Amino acid sequence: MNSLLEQIKQAFAEALTKIDPSLKDTDPMIRLTTDRKFGDYQSNVAMGLAKKLKKNPREVAQQVIDALDVADMCEKTDIAGPGFINVFLRPSYLAQTLAGLNTDDHLGVAQTQQPLHHIIDFSSPNLAKEMHVGHLRTTITGEVIARVIEFMGHTIERVNHVGDWGTQFGMLLQYIFENHPEVLENPDAFHVKDLETFYKKAKKNFDENDVFATEARKKVVLLQSEDPTAMTVWKAFVKESLRHCHEIYDLLDVSLTDIGESFYNTKLPGVVSELKENNMACEDKGAVCVFLDGFTNREGDPLPMIIQKTDGGYNYDTTDLAAIKYRIQDCGGKRLIYVTDIRQAQHFTMLFVAARKAGWATQDVILDHVGYGMVLGSDRKPFKTRDGGTVRLRDLIEEGVARAKAMITENREGAQLERVQSFSEEKINNIANAVGLAAIKYSDLSHNLASDYVFSWDKMLAMDGNTGPYMLYAYARIRSIGRKGGVDFDHLPKETPMILEHPAELALAKILVRFSDVVANVIKELKPNLLTDYLYSVSKGFSSFYDKKLGVSVLDAESDDLKMSRLLLCSLTAKTLKAGLYLLGITVVEEM
C-alpha cells in the first residue's frame, strides 16, 4: 500500500499535469508542517513554478488547489503566506489508513516491486587483535542498514571484509619465529589474548627494529608463496580471531559472512593487468599507479592509487578494486554500500570513480560510502580506558549489561515497585541484557553518523529522553495496559472501527502513519538516526495520548467502541515501536 505521503504526492502530481502537461514530472515538494495550525503537510511547489507559468505564486497555488482531487483524504486545503499550500488530513481517512496498517505485517512499508541485490561491507576488523570500541559504529550501523534493506524486500549480502592478510601477519609470524617457536608446533593452542599480546610486541619491534621489519616483510612473501609452515600458523591466527569476532557479533545480534582480503589474492594480478591494458594504470617511480582526474595531494600534484608497489607487492587499493569488481561481476551486486570511518571518504570516492572508469560499475549500479565519526571520551579525545588503553568491545558490552542490572536491582531493593520485586533472577538478567545492549546501540545510532560523539553511560542509560532504555520502557508500558485490562493486543478483532476525535488521538495517528516514509528515507539516505528520531516522536505521541490530563482514558473509556478503538491505537503504537527497534537491532522486553 502507498503511504499517505505518497498518496498526497500522487494527487499533487496529477493536479500539476492537469494544469500543464509539461509539469508531469515536477516534484510537488511536499513536506510535513512544523506548526499544526498550517495543517499536516505543506507544498511550496507554487513558488517554484510562478516564473515558468508567468503568474504570481498565490495564483499558481490556487490553480493547484482547484485541480486537486483529495476530498476523500483531506478536510481542506488552503494557501498561506506567499503561496504555501497547506493540507489538512481528514480524520476518517486517517482511521481508514490505520485500519489498513493493523492488518499489515510490514505496517504500511511497501515491498519493492524492483528488488535490487545489495552487498554491504561493514565491521571488517583487522584480525590478529581483539575488537574494540572503534568497531562499534560500523558493526551496528551496517546491521541496521541491512535490516532495513531486507524489510523492504531487497536481497542482501552482509560482507565482513576482514583484514586477514598483509604486513600485520608478517610481523606476527616473525615474532613467533623469534620468540615462540613452540607455536609453530601447535598453532591451534593459543587464544585471542595471546594473539593480542603477540601483536603489540610485534608492532613495537617492527616500528623500532629495522632488522625485524625486514624479516617481517620476508614473512609476508612466505605467505604469498603459500609456504606450508607460514600458512598453517596464519590459518590458526585467522581461525582464532574470527572465533572471537563472531562471539561479539552474537552478543550484538549481528549477522555477517567473512570474506577476507586473502580471498582476493589470486585476483590481484589480473586487476593490475586489466587496468594496464585499458591505459588506466601506468608505472610511476617503479610502482604501478592509477591517476584519476580531479584528485590531487596537498601540493597540487596528481594523487595516485598505488595498485602495485615497487617490490611487486599489492596493497588495500588493489584488494578493494578486486573486491568491487568481484561483487559486481560475480555476485551481481546492484547497490554496494561500504560502512567505514569517515576519514576513508576520499579513498572510496576514488575507488568508485576507478570502478566506473574501468567499466565494472555501470550506470545501473549504485555505489555508496557511509562514513561515521569517532566515539570520544569526556575529554573529547578518542574513547580510552582509565589507563589509556583501547576499550575492548566485549568489555563495553559487559559493562553496559552490568550497569543495567544494577539499575534494575536498585529498583527492586528499594521496594518501590512491587512488580519488579517479584522478578526472578533469570528475568532480571534477560531484561538487563536487553536494556544494556539497547542503551549502547541506540545511543550510537541516534547521533548524526558523520559526527563524533561523546560516550556517556549516564546519558545512554537514562530512563527518559531519546534513549534505548526509554524506548524499551515505552513499549513495555503499552503492553502492560493490555495485561491490566485482560486484553490480548495480538488478537484484537481486525474489524475494530477506529474512532479518532480527541486531539491526542489524532496527533498519535498522524505519527503512526509516517512509519513507512521514515523507513524509506533510511534506506535512501542511509541514516539510522532518522529512525531513532521517529521512534522518539512515537513514544512522545503516546505519552500525550495516555496522559491523564492532556490525553484520553483507554480502559475506562466512555463506551466499548471507544475503548476498543483506543486499545487498537495502543496496539499499533507497540507494533510500530517493536518493528522500529527490530530494525535498529534492539530486542524488546514485555516487562520492565
State whether the Cα torsion 94-98-100-101 is positive or negative. positive
Predicted confidence (pLDDT) per residue in 479-520, tens digit: 999 999 998 888 888 778 899 999 999 999 999 999 999 999
- Cβ atoms of 374 and 452 within 8 Å: the answer is yes
User: To the nearest whole number, what is the mean pLDDT of the chain?
Assistant: 92
447-452 long-range contacts (CB < 8 A, ≥24 apart) are 447/373, 447/529, 448/373, 448/527, 448/529, 449/137, 449/141, 449/370, 449/371, 449/372, 449/373, 449/527, 449/528, 449/529, 450/342, 450/371, 450/372, 450/373, 451/373, 452/373, 452/374, 452/375, 452/376, 452/380
- Cβ atoms of 208 and 254 within 8 Å: the answer is no
Classify residue 78 by its DSSP letter: E
pLDDT at 172 over 80: yes
* Residue whose grid cell is 499535469: 17
* pLDDT given for residue 415 in this prediction: 46
d(CA 319, CA 138) in angstroms, rounded, equals: 20
Tally the C-alpha atoms within 13 A of residue 225's C-alpha that lie toward its C-beta: 9
Contacts of 547 (CB under 8 A, 6+ apart): 504
User: Which structural domains are found in the chain, ordered by start?
Assistant: 4-89 (3.30.1360.70), 167-254 (no CATH)
pLDDT at 411 over 70: no
Q: State the CB neighbour count (10 A cutoff) for residue 2.
A: 12
Question: Rounded to the nearest 5°, which phi and psi values hold at 260?
Answer: -80, 175
* pLDDT given for residue 420 in this prediction: 65
* pLDDT given for residue 417 in this prediction: 57
* pLDDT given for residue 413 in this prediction: 54
Q: State the CB neighbour count (10 A cutoff) for residue 476.
A: 18
d(CA 305, CA 286) in angstroms, rounded, equals: 14
Q: What is the pTM of this model?
A: 0.93
**Segment 75-79 mean pLDDT:** 93
pLDDT at 79 over 60: yes
Question: Rounded to the nearest 5°, which phi and psi values hold at 394?
Answer: -60, -45
pLDDT at 386 over 80: no
Bridge partner residues of 392 (DSSP): 132
pLDDT at 102 over 90: no
All 3 cell numbers of residue 411?
529498583
Pairing of strands 74-80, 84-89: antiparallel
With cut-offs at 50, 70 and 90, classify the pLDDT of residue 419: low
pLDDT at 414 over 70: no
- Cβ atoms of 543 and 444 within 8 Å: the answer is no
Identify the weakest region by mean pLDDT among 180-189, 274-283, 509-518.
Answer: 180-189
- Cβ atoms of 443 and 459 within 8 Å: the answer is yes
* pLDDT given for residue 408 in this prediction: 84
